[in-house]
Chain A
Amino acid sequence: MDLILVNLIDGLVTGLLLFMLSAGLTLIFSMMGVLNFAHASFYMLGAYFGYQISQYMGFWMALLFAPIIVGIFGAGVERYGLRRVHQHGHVAELIFTFGLALLIEEAVQFFWGKSQVPFMVPEALDFALFSISGNAIPAYKIFMIFIAIGIFAGLLYVLTKTRIGMIIQAALSFPRTVEALGHNVPLIFMCVFGVGTALAAVAGVIAGPVLGTFPGMAFVLGSIVFVTIVIGGLGSLWGALFASLLIGWMTTFAASYNVGLAEILTAIGISKPVDMANSPWRDFWQITLSQIGPILPYLLMVLTLIFRPHGLFRKGGL
C-alpha cells in the first residue's frame, strides 16, 4: 500500500513532466500540422541554459531566464527555419525538425562536453518533505508537481478565458478568417511556437537537476513525448494530459513490480523447458515486467495507431 502511494507520486511527477513537454508540442502540432522532432531538444537546451545561468545567478533566476531565452530562440527557429521549409510540405518540415534535433544535440556537446554537468537541486528545496513508511519524498518533487499543475491551469485559463487565447484558438482552426479579421496570424504562430518551446525549457530547468543534464537527455525523452501526444490524440490538450499521466504511472509501476513472464507462462500451463541453456525460447522465461516497462509506451502507441489512429481524445483522422 505504501509502495503504491510512493509510486503514485513518482508516476505523477514523471507524467506531469511529460505533460509540460507534450502540451507545447500538441499546441504546435495543431497550429502547423507538423510534429516538432526537436521539441525535446528545446527541453534539453532549457536544462543547459538553466545550469549555466544558475552558476552565476542561482536557480530561481535560471528558472525565469532560461525559458525566456529558449522561447526567443524557438520563435527564431519558426520565423527563419520552419517558415522557409513550410513551402516544401510536411515531410520536409518533419525532416527539418529532425535535423535540428541532431544539430542541437551536437551543439550542446560542443559547448558543454559529452558528460553530465553538475546541475543541482537548489538548497532551499533540498530536504525531505515527509516520508511514507520510510520512503522519503523530497520537497523538490512536490515543487515539480505544483509548477506543472500551475502551468496547466495557467495555460487552460489563457487559452479558454482570455482574448488572446480566443484569437489563438480561432487561428488554429481558421487561420484565413482570422487573418481577414485583421490579426497577424504568422506572428501568432511564431508566438505559439515560442511559448511551446519555452514551456519545454521550463520542464528542462526543473527536470535537469533530478533526471540529470547530459547530451542524451533529449533523446531519452524525445520519442516518449511523441508517443504521448499520439496516444492522447494530436492537438488535444486534455488528451496530452491523460496520456502523460497514463505513461508516467505505467512506466513507474512497471519498473517497481518484478513480475516475470515465467510465472504467467507457468500459470497458463506451459512447462519450463528442461534444457534452459539451449532452448530458443529461454528468453521468454526470463522476461520481467521491469524489463519491458520502457517499451510499453511504444507498444501502446502502435496499438493506438492501429485501432484508433486519431488517438484516444480526438475525433476524425490525423
Chain B
Amino acid sequence: MTDTTHSFSRPFGISLRTVMPWLVATIVLLLLPFVFSANSTITVMNQMAITIIFALAYNMLLGQGGMLSFGHAVFMGIGGVFAVHVMSYVEVFGAPLPLPLLPIFGGIAGLIFACIIGSFSTRQAGTVFAMISLGVGELIAACSLIFVAFFGGETGVSADRTYGLPVFGVEFLRQSEVYYLIAGWLLLSVLLMYLYTRTPMGRMANAVRDNPERAEFLGYSARWVRFYSFIFSGFFAGIAGGLFALNYEIMTTENMSLVQSGKILLITFLGGMGFFVGPIIGAIVFTLLTTVLSRYTELGALYIGTIFVLTVMYCPRGLAGLLMMHEPAYRLGKLRLLLAPYLKLVIPGTVAVLGSAAVFEMLFHVRHATPGQHEMGLFGITFDSHSPFAWVIAIGGTLAAMVITRKLIPQINDAWHDANTVEGGAK
C-alpha cells in the first residue's frame, strides 16, 4: 500500500535513485567494448542489443497489453527491409541522410504497417488476436517471396552502410563504431519504452489487459488502447529491424518468418513477461546461450526447447520472476540465510544438468555419427561412445547428482521459510 502512494505522489520525480540505473547502464555500455574487444564478441553484443529492443517491443504487447502475437517478426522485417531500401537510396542518389538516423525509417515503416494491421486485429484480444497475428505473419512471409521488387525474394535485399555520409568523420567501417551506434539506440529505445509504461497510456494498457470490461466502464475504449499499444510496439520493432539492417546489411525472408516470431516469444517468456527488465534479461541470456551452445553442440535447439517448456511449467514468471521472488528476503535483510543452501546446490545441480546433457550427446553420437566412428569428445574428454563403461558413468553420475539435488530441496525450503519470515532463523 505504501508503495503505491509513494509512486503516485511523485509521478515526475527525478532523483538520483531513479536516474542511477540508467547512468550505470550507460557507463557499462560505454565500457563494454574495452573489456571485450574481440570482433566476434562485439558482434554478439550487437545482436544482443537488437534482440533486447525487439523483445521489449514484443513485451509491450504480451506482457503489458496481454496480446499474444505469433507474427511480430513481420514488423521487424518490414522495418528492416524499408531501412535497407533507404540505405540504397542514399547510396544511389547521395541523399544527405546520416547513417545514425536510419533506424527511424525502419520504425516509421513498422508504425505505418502496424496501423494497417492493427486497424482490424486489435478489435479483440486473446485467441482471436493470436490467430489473426499468425495469419498475417504467414501471409507476409509468403508475400515476401512473391513481391521480389520490395522484399528481394529468396536472396533478400542488401545494401552497403559505408557509402553514406560520414558522420563527424566516422564511416562505420569497424564493428565497434556500429556497436556505439546500436548502443545509443538501445539506450534511447529502452528509456522511451520504460517511460511509456509510466504514462497514463501505459497504465491503461495494463488495465485493459487485466479487465477490459471494467476499463470500458471507466470510459476508455479497450480497442483504441490496444491499438495504440500495437502501433507503438510496431514502431519499436521497426527500429530493431532498422538496426538489424544496419548491422548485417541484409534482410531476407527468414527475418520475418514464424520461426523468428516464435523465437521472440520464447525470449520474452524466458526472461519474464511480467517485468520491464524481463525481456532484457531474456534477450541477454538467450543470445549468450545460443552463442555458447552453437559452439559446442549440435543439440542447442533441443536444450533451449527443453528449458522453455520447463520454464512455462515450473516458473511461468520467468527469470526476472525468479529474481524478484527474493525481494521479500532482501527487504528483511535475510538474503544471506539462503546463500549457504544455494551454494550446496551448485555442485550437484550442475552435475545433474551437465550429466543429462552428456547422456543426450552420447545417444546422439551413437545414432548419428558416421558408422564405425566410436570416438567422441565431451567436456574435453575423449572416449568410446559405445563402451558400456562410459554409459554407466554418465547415467550413474547423473542419477546420483539428481538424487542428491532432491535431498537438498527440503533444506532449501526450510531456509526459504526462515528468510521470508520476520522471526525465522533467529536462533
Contacts and interface: CB of A to CB of B under 8 A. Distances in A.
A260 interface: no
A158 interface: no
Contacts of B299: 106, 110
Contacts of B143: 295
A282 B131 contact: no
Contacts of B128: 305, 309, 318
B147 A283 contact: yes
Given A106-B302, A283-B146, A287-B146, A306 B120 contact: yes
Interface in B105-157: 120, 123-124, 126-128, 130-132, 134-136, 138-139, 142-143, 146-150
Nearest to A35: B127
Contact of B265 (A98, A226, A280, A299): A98
Contact of A298 (B120, B124, B139): B139
Given A110-B363, A302-B139, 15 more contacts: A95-B265, A102-B305, A109-B302, A113-B368, A219-B258, A226-B134, A227-B135, A283-B147, A283-B148, A292-B142, A294-B142, A302-B135, A302-B136, A306-B132, A309-B128
Interface in A294-318: 294-295, 298-299, 301-302, 305-306, 309, 317-318
Contacts of B142: 292, 294-295, 298
B308 A102 contact: yes
B364 A99 contact: no
A33 to B, nearest CB: 8
B139 A84 contact: no
Interface of B: 62, 66, 68, 70, 120, 123-124, 126-128, 130-132, 134-136, 138-139, 142-143, 146-150, 258, 262, 265-266, 269, 299, 301-302, 305-306, 308-309, 312-313, 316, 360, 363-364, 367-368
B309 A100 contact: yes
Interface of A: 35, 81, 84-85, 88, 90-92, 94-96, 98-100, 102-103, 105-107, 109-111, 113, 219, 223, 226-227, 230, 234, 280-283, 287, 291-292, 294-295, 298-299, 301-302, 305-306, 309, 317-318
Contacts of A96: 309, 312-313
A96 B262 CA distance: 12
A202 B115 CA distance: 43
B262 A282 contact: no
19 contacts: A84-B313, A90-B127, A96-B309, A96-B312, A99-B305, A102-B262, A102-B301, A103-B302, A106-B299, A223-B258, A282-B149, A287-B146, A298-B138, A298-B142, A302-B132, A302-B135, A305-B132, A317-B124, A318-B127
A283 B68 CA distance: 33
A99 B126 contact: no
Given A113-B368, A294-B142, A318-B127, A92 B134 contact: no
Contacts of A223: 134, 138, 258
B312 A92 contact: yes
A226 B131 contact: yes
Counting chain A CB atoms within 10 Å of each CB, the highest count among B135, B265, B299, B308 belongs to B135
B53 to A, nearest CB: 22
Counting chain B CB atoms within 10 Å of each CB, the highest count among A99, A110, A309 belongs to A99
Interface of chain A, helix or strand or loop or mixed?
A: helix
A193 B127 CA distance: 19
A294 B145 CA distance: 12
A114 B214 CA distance: 50
Contacts of A294: 142
Contacts of B120: 306
A102 B270 CA distance: 14
B149 A280 contact: yes
Nearest to A112: B367
Counting chain B CB atoms within 10 Å of each CB, the highest count among A35, A100, A107, A302 belongs to A302
A85 B120 CA distance: 30
Contacts of B309: 81, 96, 99-100, 103
Contacts of A234: 127
A110 B364 contact: yes
Contacts of A98: 70, 262, 265
Nearest to B117: A302
Nearest to A281: B149
Contacts of A100: 309
B205 to A, nearest CB: 15
Contacts of B312: 85, 92, 95-96, 99
Contacts of A302: 132, 135-136, 139
Contacts of A81: 309, 313
B210 to A, nearest CB: 11
Contact of B308 (A99, A227, A295): A99
Given A295-B139, A302-B136, A309-B128, A95 B68 contact: yes
A130 B138 CA distance: 38
Contacts of B316: 85, 88, 92
Contact of A99 (B68, B136, B266): B266
A299 B136 CA distance: 8
Contacts of A85: 312-313, 316
Contact of A103 (B70, B305, B367): B305
Contacts of B258: 219, 223
Nearest to B305: A103
Given A223-B138, A295-B142, A298-B138, A110 B360 contact: yes
Nearest to B129: A305
A88 to B, nearest CB: 5
Contacts of A110: 299, 302, 360, 363-364
Contacts of B313: 81, 84-85, 96
User: What 6 A-B pairs are tightest by C-beta distance, nearest first?
Assistant: A103-B305, A106-B302, A295-B142, A99-B309, A102-B305, A99-B308
A91 B312 CA distance: 11
A73 to B, nearest CB: 14
A309 B132 CA distance: 10
A230 B363 CA distance: 40
A103 B307 CA distance: 10
